Amino acid sequence: MARRSRRKPSKSAKKIKKRFDAAWSAKENWRGLYEQCYEYALPQRNLYDGSWKSGTSGKQKSGKVFDSTAVHGVNRFANRLQSGLFPPDKHWMALQPGTDIPPEADSDVRMGCQELTDRFFTLIRQTNFDLALGEFLMDLAVGTGIMLIQPGTALKPINFRAIPQFQVALEEGPGGVVENVYRKIRTPVENIKREWPDAKLSETLERLLEDKPQEPVELQESTVVNVRDGGFDYYICYKGDGDESDMLVYRYLKTSPWVVSRYMKALWSTCATAALIITSATRATAMNPTCWCIAI
């Protein structure tokens, strides 16, 4: 989990909005390809169909699925990865002493590592990790799996959230590593202070909270590396009318709360390709959707 400390924002809301928009503009080049993949293989997780923009839910999304091969293929892809790498109710990793541990201390260190491993899995069993990981791996079949890890409650100490890649744009740092994450959020205005207790609402949001507390508003979440010390600047901004943007939350994080996994990085892009995208080159159609499943 990311640890935070108090600092003043290193960038203005206007500068953060500019970077946010630039990352999303680059991602738009991939929109058509991603939309086609979700349309045929993950229709119920498809937000590219306009349901996000219109704010409507419960729509029938499988109108173009005339064969279930692709849908079953994605589920099998996710299930096999999860059962092979992160099997529920099993210890799928173990901490071990490193090579720098002197031989005479190896036994004690090994016992300590085993105790920490047991504590780790005791903690994981109290969370929603297994459920969120399944959704994460299904998105990975399209190219990119994205997980947000947040502090939880006394009963669920860590909250794992698989974020649909539709909501996220990425930026890379040196070495092609994903560093900056920009997410679109839609939430009722009354939930802002509950999710971010340190949020400072603008006058517009204060009026909405008073008159229409369940009115959904769109927020822009930006997690940007701080190049001076290697930490991360975390921003929540509210985009009102026009080009203005109000900064509601700023936090300095020592580590990033994001886990981003790309199946196969695309050249000259932060986006990723995967089994579904590779096979889409054969131009699957509604009458021939089975060619989506060659690599799954």
CB 160 within 8 A of CB 129: yes
Percent of the chain scored above 70 by pLDDT? 83
Mean pLDDT of 270-280: 64
Question: In which band, very low, low, confident or very high, does the pLDDT at 286 lie, cut at 50, 70 and 90?
Answer: very low
User: How confident is the model at residue 56, as a pLDDT?
Assistant: 65
Judged on CB neighbours under 10 Å (0-12, 13-18, 19+), 232 is buried
Mean pLDDT of 224-239: 92
For 111-170, what is each residue's pLDDT tens digit?
A: 999 999 999 999 999 999 999 999 999 999 988 999 999 999 888 999 999 999 999 999
For 166-208, what is each residue's pLDDT tens digit?
A: 999 999 998 889 999 999 999 999 999 999 999 999 899 999 9
User: How confident is the model at residue 192, as a pLDDT?
Assistant: 96
Half-sphere exposure of 111 (CA within 13 A, CB side): 3
Residue 89 has pLDDT above 80, yes or no: yes
Question: In which band, very low, low, confident or very high, does the pLDDT at 291 lie, cut at 50, 70 and 90?
Answer: very low
Question: In which band, very low, low, confident or very high, does the pLDDT at 271 lie, cut at 50, 70 and 90?
Answer: confident
User: How confident is the model at residue 278, as a pLDDT?
Assistant: 52
> Beta-carbon neighbour count of residue 148 at 10 Å?
21
DSSP secondary structure letters along the chain: ---EE----SS-HHHHHHHHHHHHHHHGGGHHHHHHHHHHH-GGG--TTTHHHHT--S----TT---SHHHHHHHHHHHHHHHHHS-TTS--------TTS-GGGHHHHHHHHHHHHHHHHHHHTTTTHHHHHHHHHHHHTTTEEEEEEEE--SSS-EEEEE--GGGEEEEE-GGG-EEEEEEEEEEEGGGHHHH-TT----HHHHHHHHH-TT-EEEEEEEEEE-TTTS-EEEEEEEE-STT-EEEEEEEEESS-SEEEEESEEPTTSS-EE-HHHHHGGG--BTTBGGGGGTT-
Q: What is the dihedral of CA 125, 130, 133, 138, to 10 degrees?
A: 180
